[in-house]
């Protein structure tokens, strides 16, 4: 036999049809089963259309159904399904026997990679193609085919499929174990938010005012969350002829591009991957230390805090903030534990303790440095107050439920809120001391009366003041301060945070803000109805309603609206009714959420102290129940 | 020709191949023997392009085999743990191999049905180990490889099928010049089929020769000395092993049997006789020098 003929060098191949077909035929139960389940959707549509006496479908309805499915179901479905496809088609990398077969075949790794990738991608898309084709057929037959929506939906599905399958592929490239692949995939998709939450929760235990609420700045690294936040269907509710659309396509387009980059990275990893890594939890040598120390750090941050609470926090801790040394010890213990667990996974053996002292020492050093950096607040997080020009809106809330929300930064109220925040920071030591004593039921240091006694005599009140800054760059800054309010400071010491809190939450500006429509600007028209206890429902519109609203604003400016005051006697406020004002949409932003566009309502409780409002109502001829007359006369 | 030059492979600090050198000439049937853990399977995985060496070179037909589809197309392998798809039948695997090996011989596949009487439709996972081995041979022979690499190839086959398989291999070697590298612990069997032998230990090749050279270069001498005391052997003799029963001494000595016999005869023993060594004996005595001897332990 002439070898030179039968094995003549051929052009480099990037695709092998046999392998492609083999992958599809091997794993048909998965994509076939999913296609079958998906086919229920067009069947349901068909049956619904056949029963027209109850349901009437139009092309627009179909389009909306597609938009709803692609924005609400597809991301979550692909998150799971792409992982299953990935673990199947790349499964040969997890077994030394199958690696031996595949890598001894007369094709290079690029060909194997591209062919496996294509077959996996086909497996991801087949159910969508089947369901889409059936749905189009149903729509064609019934004359309800929304062409644009179908095209947009198909594009969105392909883009998301590229992204999700690329991440599954990357996960398969970094491990040689199917279970680890699924774990890495799941962790990878949510690692950023998990880590941000962990670090924020940890830091909030040390830093004054920091909350365990994460700002979500890393949400974009957790794509499913980010897609659900930004990729939405927009239905034109107010304009029946207006177009519906998918908003945030750019988000999935960017993720798809990122997916292509990940595929290129995966290809490089596959080319350098060692066949002998089959079965290993981590298949790339350079990832092993990252895995070890990553597991150690996560273990320290999670288990460390649990251990601290169990052995020190609950029985011994004073105040609401962590103590440095006990926490550092807990972090070291749990960090080293995590390090050894990671080593066991990597070595597939329980014998990891002998000889490896550098790793635990390094882990201990890392967590001690972390603990020190956080407790010393080296980035100045605790003392950070956003500048006016950085801020989009500010909200201040106290635990009593009173709040001013989404105020513009250039308003006097916003400046008052910023001043309040700075005053709280300036009084940090005092506040820490007071809250620690309050929590522990300790004694009031300065005065003669015990803290608990003073609280009992209504001279003191415990509250939590929350700040939320939405910044112009899209970030959100949360701060939360547990404080003990003192009556004397609240009323008589203007420089204290207590008094500034009163001015911010209980002043005229806050009262006006509480009855103003959220989107600001000029109120084009006000519709309203008035309902007062003992009276009948009354509705006012146009100029009459606007006159009542003006009177309410007048009462607010004069401080006659009910406002929260922990030390005030509320007897002067008697609830006599409720007003609900409806504001026509003014300059409400089109944020893609159909439910936020429309009439905005503001409810104002009506109290006897609101003389201007009551006077206006009387002038307009409303005299229900005699109560108004009585008050007016009074 | 297969050439292995200074190949090093390390797994987690364990040096599985230690500057290994090996050459398999075209048309040879090369027996690769060695104790467990010597590195035989590791070098085989390098030869078929599965493993990449840490350093060194592995050439098949003059070019590196790793990531070289053209050269990998010349090589077919039957590993000790042959992989088949879990639900695949023999015919499924045939189609799979046919899609990768351009020279896959479908006619031969049909003809070999007479030899390997296996069901083509039965899932391979339901077959016995021996039947799976037959299936592996069937498909591999149809790939018409220029280089056939076998790791414990007849393990699990019955004696008749062993002969049948070897017969087919020998026929390929004779007719097409196929080069066969076979790793096995069944040295008696290798002795019958191999013309070259390499002995591996601890990641290195201890020796590599044609079988005839090997057998000519080591001899077993049985000597009966005329005196009570055992005389010292002539200087320069490389004695690998010595034993005696009564006055009958057995020496395993490196060198040509005839020359050794003459040198001992010059010492005027009562009797001296040179006996040929089997491959198994050569293996044992060569490795004995590498501290891998049969230890006489009383339990």
- Looking up residue B168, the CATH number of its domain turns out to be 3.40.50.300
Using a CB-CB cut-off of 8 Å, the residues of chain A touching B68 are: 108
Enclosing domain of residue B239: 217-288
Same domain, B143 and B241: no
Mutate to test the interface with B, among A1, A112, A270, A275 (most CBs of B within 10 A): A1
> Same domain, yes or no, for B205 and B221?
no
Judging contacts by C-beta atoms under 8 Å, the chain A residues touching residue B45 are 100, 275
d(C-alpha A240, C-alpha A234), whole Å: 13
Kindly list the residues from chain A whose CB atom is less than 8 angstroms away from the CB atom of residue B85: 22, 26
Flag whether B299 is in a domain. no
Question: What gap in Å lies between CA A101 and CA A95, rounded to an integer?
Answer: 10
Q: What is the pTM of this model?
A: 0.81
Q: What is the pLDDT of residue A579?
A: 80
pLDDT at position A457 is: 54
Residue A300 in this model has a pLDDT that exceeds 70: yes
Residue A433, min C-alpha distance to chain B (Å):
56
Could you tell me if residue B293 is inside a domain? no
Question: Do B223 and B188 belong to one domain?
Answer: no
User: Per the CB < 8 Å rule, is A6 touching B103?
Assistant: yes
Burial class, B63, CB count within 10 angstroms (exposed 0-12 / middle 13-18 / buried 19+): exposed
Please compute, for residue B279, the number of CA atoms within 13 A of its CA located in the half-sphere on the CB side. Answer: 27
Identify whether B35 is part of a domain. Answer: yes
Over residues A19-39, the mean pLDDT reads 95
Residue B30 has pLDDT above 50, yes or no: yes
Q: Does B107 touch chain A (CB under 8 A)?
A: no
Helices A59-72 and A74-89, packing angle to 10 deg? 60
Q: What is the pLDDT of residues A338-369, one digit of tens each?
A: 999 999 999 888 888 887 889 999 999 999 99
B54 shares its domain with B74 = yes
> Is residue B130 situated within a structural domain?
yes
Which residue in A has a C-alpha nearest to residue B50's C-alpha? A103
Residues on chain A bordering chain B, Cβ-to-Cβ distance under 8 angstroms:
1, 3, 6-7, 9-10, 12-13, 16-19, 22, 26, 95-101, 103-109, 111, 271, 274-276
What is the rounded distance in angstroms from the CA atom of residue B8 to the CA atom of residue B204?
10
The whole-angstrom distance between residue A81's C-alpha and the CA centroid of its chain comes to: 23
Contact criterion met (CB below 8 Å) for A313 and A287: no
Percent residues over pLDDT 70 in chain A: 83
Search chain A and give the residue with CA nearest B88.
Answer: A26
Do B124 and B259 have their domain in common?
A: no
Domain check: are B179 and B36 in the same one?
yes
Ranges A227-241, B176-190, B204-218, most confident? B176-190
Question: Best-predicted range by mean pLDDT among A236-250, A501-515, A606-620, B156-170?
Answer: B156-170
User: B76: Cβ–Cβ under 8 A, 6 or more apart, which residues?
Assistant: B101, B140, B143, B145, B147, B148, B149
Cβ within 8 Å of residue A202, ≥6 positions away: A301, A305, A374
Is the Cβ of B87 closer than 8 Å to some Cβ of chain A?
Answer: yes
| Model confidence band, residue A627 (pLDDT cutoffs 50, 70, 90) | very low
Those of residues 44-83 in B touching chain A at CB distance below 8 A are 45, 48-52, 67-70, 72-75, 77, 79, 81-83
Residue B297 belongs to a domain: no
Cβ–Cβ below 8 Å for A106 and B101: yes
Residues B123 and B251 in one domain: no
Q: What is the pLDDT of residue A518?
A: 65
Let me know if residue B173 belongs to a domain.
Answer: yes
* Chain B contact probe: residue of A26, A276, A347, A348 with most B CBs at under 10 A: A276
Contact A220, A226 (CB under 8 A): yes
Answer whether residue B298 is part of any domain. no
> Lowest-confidence range among A406-410, A569-573, A629-633, B142-146?
A629-633
Which residues from chain B sit within 8 angstroms of residue A10, using beta carbons? 70, 102
Task: Report the complex ipTM.
Answer: 0.89
pLDDT for res A598 = 58
B52–A3 C-beta distance less than 8 A: no
Same domain, B176 and B250: no
Pairwise CB contact (< 8 Å): A18 & B98? yes
Residue A585: what pLDDT?
A: 59
CA angle B288, B291, B296 (to 5 degrees): 75
Distance to chain B for A22, nearest Cα, Å: 8
Give chain B's domain count: 2
Residue B32 lies in a domain: yes
Pair (B118, B222) in one structural domain: no
CB contact under 8 A, A7 and B103: yes
Is the separation of the CB atoms in A515 and A499 below 8 Å?
no
* Structural domain ending residue among the three candidates B209, B227, B246: B209
* Tokens coding A104: 């001894």
Residue that finishes a domain, picked among B185, B209, B233 = B209
My answer on whether B143 and B22 are in the same domain is yes
Whether A278 and A95 have beta carbons less than 8 Å apart is answered as yes
Counted across chains A and B, CB pairs separated by less than 8 A come out at 83
Q: CATH number for the domain including B236?
A: 3.30.70
Q: Which residues of A touch B140 (CB under 8 A)?
A: none
Rounded Cα distance between A136 and A130, Å, is: 10
- Structure-model confidence comparison of residues A141 and A594, the more confident one: A141
- Top residue of A18, A103, A351 to mutate, by most chain B CBs within 10 Å, is A103
pLDDT in the model for residue A389: 87
B176 to chain A, closest Cα gap in Å: 6
B75–A104 CB contact, under 8 Å: yes
CA proximity to B2, closest of B154, B155, B148, B189: B148
CB atoms under 10 Å from CB of B285, counted, come to 19
Nearest to B100 among A9, A16, A100 (CB): A16
How far apart are the CA of B142 and the nearest CA of chain A, in angstroms?
Answer: 13
- Among the residue ranges A440-444, A602-606, B124-128, B167-171, the one predicted with the least confidence is A440-444
Residue B167 shares a structural domain with residue B252: no
My answer on whether B257 and B226 are in the same domain is yes
Give the tens place of pLDDT for each residue, B130-152. Answer: 999 999 999 999 999 999 999 98
What angle do the packed helices A109-142 and A28-38 form, to 10 degrees? 20
Q: Which has the higher per-residue pLDDT, B216 or B64?
A: B64
Residues of chain A contacting residue B176, judged by C-beta atoms under 8 Å apart: 1
Instruction: Choose the final residue of a domain: B159, B178, B209.
Output: B209
């Amino acid at each position: 036999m002439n070898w030179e003929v039968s094995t003549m060098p051929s052009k480099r191949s990037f695709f092998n049809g046999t392998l492609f077909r083999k992958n599809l035929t091997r794993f048909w139960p998965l994509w076939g089963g999913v296609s079958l389940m998906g086919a229920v959707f067009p069947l349901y549509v068909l049956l619904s259309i056949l029963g027209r006496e109850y349901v009437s479908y139009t092309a627009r309805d179909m389009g909306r159904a597609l938009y709803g499915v692609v924005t609400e179901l597809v991301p979550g479905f692909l998150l799971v399904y792409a992982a299953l496809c990935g673990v199947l088609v790349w499964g040969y990398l997890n077994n030394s026997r199958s690696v031996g077969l595949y890598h001894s075949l007369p094709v290079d790794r690029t060909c194997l990679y591209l062919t496996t990738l294509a077959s996996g991608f086909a497996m991801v898309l087949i159910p969508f193609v089947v369901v889409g084709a059936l749905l189009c057929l149903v729509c064609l037959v019934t004359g309800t085919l929304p062409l644009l929506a179908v095209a947009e939906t198909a594009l969105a599905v392909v883009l998301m499929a590229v992204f999700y399958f690329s991440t599954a592929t990357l996960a398969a490239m970094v491990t040689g174990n199917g279970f680890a692949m699924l774990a890495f995939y799941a962790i990878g998709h949510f690692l950023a938010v998990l880590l941000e939450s962990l670090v924020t929760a940890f830091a909030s235990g040390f830093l004054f005012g920091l909350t365990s609420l994460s700002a979500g700045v890393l949400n974009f690294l957790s794509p499913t969350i980010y897609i659900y936040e930004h990729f939405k269907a927009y239905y034109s509710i107010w304009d029946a002829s207006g177009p519906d659309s998918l908003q945030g396509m750019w988000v999935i387009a960017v993720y798809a591009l990122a997916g292509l980059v990940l595929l290129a990275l995966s290809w490089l990893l596959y080319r350098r991957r060692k066949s002998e890594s089959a079965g290993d939890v981590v298949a790339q040598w350079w990832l092993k230390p990252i895995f070890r120390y990553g597991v150690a750090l996560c273990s320290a941050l999670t288990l460390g805090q649990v251990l601290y609470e169990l052995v020190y926090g609950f029985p011994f801790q004073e105040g609401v903030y962590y103590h440095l040394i006990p926490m550092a010890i807990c972090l070291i213990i749990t960090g080293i534990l995590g390090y050894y667990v990671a080593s066991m996974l990597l070595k597939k053996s329980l014998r990891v303790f002998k000889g490896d002292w550098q790793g635990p020492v390094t882990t201990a050093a890392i967590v001690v440095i972390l603990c020190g950096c956080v407790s010393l607040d080296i980035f100045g997080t605790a003392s950070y107050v956003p500048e006016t020009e950085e801020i989009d809106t500010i909200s201040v809330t106290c635990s009593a439920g009173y709040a001013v929300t989404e105020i513009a930064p250039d308003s006097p109220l916003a400046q008052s809120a910023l001043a309040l925040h700075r005053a709280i920071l300036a009084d940090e030591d005092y506040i820490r001391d007071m809250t620690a004593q309050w929590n522990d039921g300790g004694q009031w240091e300065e005065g003669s009366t015990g803290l608990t006694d003073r609280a009992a005599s209504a001279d003191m009140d415990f509250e939590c003041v929350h700040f939320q800054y939405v910044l112009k760059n899209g970030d959100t800054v949360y701060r939360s301060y547990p404080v003990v309010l003192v009556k004397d400071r609240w009323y008589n010491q203007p420089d204290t945070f207590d008094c500034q809190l009163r001015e911010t939450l209980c002043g005229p500006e806050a009262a006006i803000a509480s009855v103003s429509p959220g989107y600001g600007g000029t109120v084009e028209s006000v519709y309203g109805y008035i309902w007062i206890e003992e009276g009948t429902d009354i509705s006012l519109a146009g100029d009459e309603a606007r006159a009542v609203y003006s009177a309410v604003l007048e009462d607010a400016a004069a401080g006659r609206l009910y406002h929260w005051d922990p030390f005030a006697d509320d007897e002067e406020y008697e609830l006599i009714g409720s007003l609900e004002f409806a504001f026509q949409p003014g300059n409400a932003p089109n944020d893609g959420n159909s439910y936020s566009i429309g009439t905005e309502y503001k409810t104002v409780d009506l109290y006897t102290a609101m003389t201007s409002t009551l006077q206006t109502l009387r002038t307009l001829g409303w005299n229900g129940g005699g109560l108004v007359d009585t008050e007016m006369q009074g | 020709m297969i050439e292995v030059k200074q190949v090093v492979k390390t797994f987690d600090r364990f040096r599985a191949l230690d500057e290994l050198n090996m050459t398999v000439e075209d048309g040879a049937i090369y027996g690769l023997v060695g104790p467990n853990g010597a590195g035989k399977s590791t070098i085989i995985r390098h030869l078929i392009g599965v493993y990449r060496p840490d350093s060194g070179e592995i050439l098949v037909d003059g070019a590196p085999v790793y990531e070289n589809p053209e050269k990998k197309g010349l090589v077919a392998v039957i590993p000790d743990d042959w992989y088949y798809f879990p639900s695949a039948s023999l015919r499924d695997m045939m189609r799979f191999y046919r899609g990768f090996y351009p020279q896959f011989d479908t006619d031969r596949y049909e003809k070999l049905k007479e030899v390997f009487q296996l069901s083509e439709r039965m899932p391979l996972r339901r077959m016995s180990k021996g039947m799976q081995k037959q299936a592996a041979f069937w498909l591999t022979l149809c790939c018409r490889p220029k280089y056939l690499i076998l790791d414990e190839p007849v393990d699990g086959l019955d004696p008749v099928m062993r002969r049948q398989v070897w017969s087919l291999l020998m026929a390929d070697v004779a007719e097409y010049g196929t080069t066969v590298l076979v790793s096995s612990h069944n040295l008696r069997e290798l002795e019958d089929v191999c013309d070259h032998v390499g002995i591996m230990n601890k990641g290195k090749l201890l020796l590599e020769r044609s079988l005839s050279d090997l057998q000519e270069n080591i001899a077993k001498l049985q000597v009966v000395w005329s005196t009570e005391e055992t005389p010292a052997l002539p200087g320069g003799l490389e004695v690998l092993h010595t034993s005696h029963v009564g006055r009958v001494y057995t020496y395993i000595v490196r060198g040509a049997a005839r020359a050794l016999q003459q040198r001992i005869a010059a010492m005027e023993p009562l009797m001296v006789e040179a006996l040929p060594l089997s491959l198994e004996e050569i293996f044992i005595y060569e490795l004995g020098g590498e501290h891998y001897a049969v230890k006489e332990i009383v339990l």
